[in-house]
Amino acid sequence: MPKPIADADFQSEVLDSAIPAVVDFWAPWCGPCKSMLPIFDDLEKEYAGRVKFVKMNVDDNPVIPQQFEVMSIPTFIVFKSGAAVKTFIGAKSKEDMARLVDAAIA
């Protein structure tokens, strides 16, 4: 299960991460967000040690989503070496998510 993070954890968990990180900006009331849970869990296992997967509840943590202009959920942002390198919005298939992550971290 991807680690839930808060605004206060963002710097240490994502920007300072030694490996690329994928942040899932979500909310518990969001249907498409819920549909992505098993896919995000599977990808976390497949990329273990190579990519970090974390989740941020936008209802509980308004600062970071606003900073990165998250307007729709789910939004996934890939961070590499402390910078946002790729953003994708909306529910995706596992294969599409893997392709997007691979392209972003290449």
Active-site pick, 14, 33, 51, 78: 33
Does the annotation mark 64 as catalytic? no
Tokens of 101: 């992550």
Does the annotation mark 86 as catalytic? no
Please work out, in degrees rounded to the nearest 5, the angle formed at the alpha carbon of residue 48 by the alpha carbons of 12 and 78: 55
Whether 5 and 13 have beta carbons less than 8 Å apart is answered as: yes
Phi, psi angles (nearest 5°) of residue 31: -60, -50
Active-site pick, 14, 22, 30, 39: 30
Which residues are known catalytic residues?
Answer: 30, 33
